[in-house]
């Protein structure tokens, strides 16, 4: 019995060494990258489903339980996943409060696009008040996200794990760089192609692939399409010969079809984040799917 006691004490002392680090990510895109870096030493939990609009996620009490037990919170930041703030407050877990080692805002170090200058009002739309938060759609930003997550993991893990995470992060980044060449090659024939989308989701995507972001069905981020705006968009698209509409999976199809009918444009429903479709199950397959869908559509 005495020995059993000793073994139990030993187990208790050693348990942190094999207890997995609990990483809670707001959206599956971040979970995918966190899993690549964390490997077997982390348990990754995702709060929102990739099928939903990531701007509007209804906080639900059961998510608080995951945050209460989290060692690391990984969020997109800016105003995209602000819905997690009330859940973090309710979790009482100061390890993941802003400024704590367990708080990872992946937007740190991202060159942000469309940051409003001067006074910000609802006239500029309901969301994107800190700039466009859909930065993961430029795969180069995947590197920055990975580095932010790695830094967070290094802050909350024992030193003995650091080499493991560092090696996995290096491997992820080099694989990503290889894939970037492939993806770019796949869309290079279509450089400068003008396209519209429902919401301003593709600014970073267009930046990487040299596409011409012509406009959106929403008049402003978060503001529903209006007849006047749609009419103007149709007129401009006709004049400029815009033939591609990228429709995010979580927006209604009606308006896109309406515009397509008038302009002879093609509507392509595309995943804008991991988990939005079955094919886009991780960060790599997200771009595989996106580039295939777009190149197939433009092949004509």
Q: Is 40 one of the binding residues for another protein (CB under 8 A)?
A: no
Listed in sequence order, the residues at least 6 apart from 278 whose beta carbon sits closer than 8 Å to its beta carbon are: none
Out of 3, 17, 60, 192, the residue judged to bind another protein by CB under 8 A? 60
Minimum distance of another protein from residue 220's CB (angstroms) = 10
Query: Per CB under 8 A, which region of 32-40, 84-92, 136-144, 200-208 contacts another protein?
Result: 84-92
Binding mask 227-266 for another protein (x = CB under 8 A): ----------------------xxxx--------------
Q: Is 122 one of the binding residues for another protein (CB under 8 A)?
A: yes
Q: Is 97 one of the binding residues for another protein (CB under 8 A)?
A: yes
Q: Is 51 one of the binding residues for another protein (CB under 8 A)?
A: yes
Can you read off the two tokens belonging to residue 280? 């886009």
Measured from the CB atom, the residue of 53 and 288 that comes closer to another protein is: 53
Out of 87, 176, 206, 273, the residue judged to bind another protein by CB under 8 A? 87
- HEC profile of the chain: CHHHHHHHHHHHHHHHHHCCEEEEECCHHHHHHHHHHHHHHEEEEECCCCCCCCCCCCCCHHHHHHHHCCCEEEECCCCCCCCHHHHHHHHCCHHHCCCCCCEEECCCCCCCCCCCCCCCCHHHCCCCECECCCHHHCHHHHHHHHHHHHHHHHHHCCHHHHHHHHHHHHHHHHHHHHHHHHHHHHHHHHCCCEEEECCCCCHHHHHHHCCEEEEECCCCCCCCCCHHHHHHHHHHHHHHCCCEEEEECCCCCHHHHHHHHHHCCEEEEECCCCCCCCCCCCHHHHHHHHHHHHHHHHHC
What whole-number distance in Å separates Cα of residue 148 and Cα of residue 33?
10
Minimum distance of another protein from residue 111's CB (angstroms) = 11
Minimum distance of another protein from residue 47's CB (angstroms) = 12
Q: Is 15 one of the binding residues for another protein (CB under 8 A)?
A: no
Out of 7, 16, 39, 94, the residue judged to bind another protein by CB under 8 A? 94
Q: Is 77 one of the binding residues for another protein (CB under 8 A)?
A: yes
Can you read off the two tokens belonging to residue 179? 């894939």
Q: Is 56 one of the binding residues for another protein (CB under 8 A)?
A: yes
Q: Is 99 one of the binding residues for another protein (CB under 8 A)?
A: yes
- Going by C-alpha positions, the residue among 59, 18, 3 that lies closest to residue 158 is 18
Binding mask 179-208 for another protein (x = CB under 8 A): ------------------------------
Query: Per CB under 8 A, which region of 15-23, 28-36, 53-61, 200-208 contacts another protein?
Result: 53-61
- Contacts with another protein by CB under 8 A lie at 51-53, 56, 58-62, 64-65, 68, 77-79, 82, 85-87, 89-94, 97-100, 103-105, 107-109, 122, 126, 130, 222-224, 249-252
């Amino acid at each position: 019995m005495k020995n059993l006691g000793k073994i139990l004490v030993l187990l208790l002392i050693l348990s942190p060494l094999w207890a997995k680090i609990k990483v809670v990510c707001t959206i599956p895109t971040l979970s995918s990258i966190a899993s690549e870096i964390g490997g077997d030493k982390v348990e990754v939990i995702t709060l929102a489903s990739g099928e939903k609009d990531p701007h509007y996620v209804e906080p639900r009490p059961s998510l608080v339980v995951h945050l209460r037990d989290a060692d690391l919170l990984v969020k997109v930041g800016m105003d995209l996943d602000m819905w997690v703030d009330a859940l973090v407050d309710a979790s009482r877990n100061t390890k993941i409060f802003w400024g704590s080692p367990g708080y990872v805002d992946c937007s740190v170090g991202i060159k942000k696009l469309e940051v409003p200058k001067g006074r910000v009002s609802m006239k500029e739309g309901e969301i994107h008040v800190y700039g466009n938060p859909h930065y993961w759609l430029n795969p180069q930003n995947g590197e920055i996200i990975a580095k932010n997550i790695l830094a967070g993991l290094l802050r909350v893990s024992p030193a003995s794990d650091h080499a493991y995470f560092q090696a996995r992060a290096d491997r992820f980044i080099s694989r990503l760089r290889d894939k970037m060449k492939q993806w770019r090659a796949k869309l290079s024939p279509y450089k400068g192609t003008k396209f519209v989308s429902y919401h301003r989701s593709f600014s970073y995507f267009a930046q990487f692939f040299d596409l011409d972001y012509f406009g959106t069905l929403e008049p402003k981020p978060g503001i529903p399409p209006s007849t006047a705006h749609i009419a103007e968009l149709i007129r401009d698209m006709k004049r400029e010969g815009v033939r591609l509409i990228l429709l995010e999976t979580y927006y209604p199809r009606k308006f896109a079809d309406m515009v397509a009918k008038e302009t002879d444009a093609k509507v392509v429903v595309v995943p804008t984040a991991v988990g939005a479709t079955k094919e886009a199950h991780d960060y790599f397959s997200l771009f595989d799917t996106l580039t295939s869908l777009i190149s197939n559509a433009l092949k004509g």
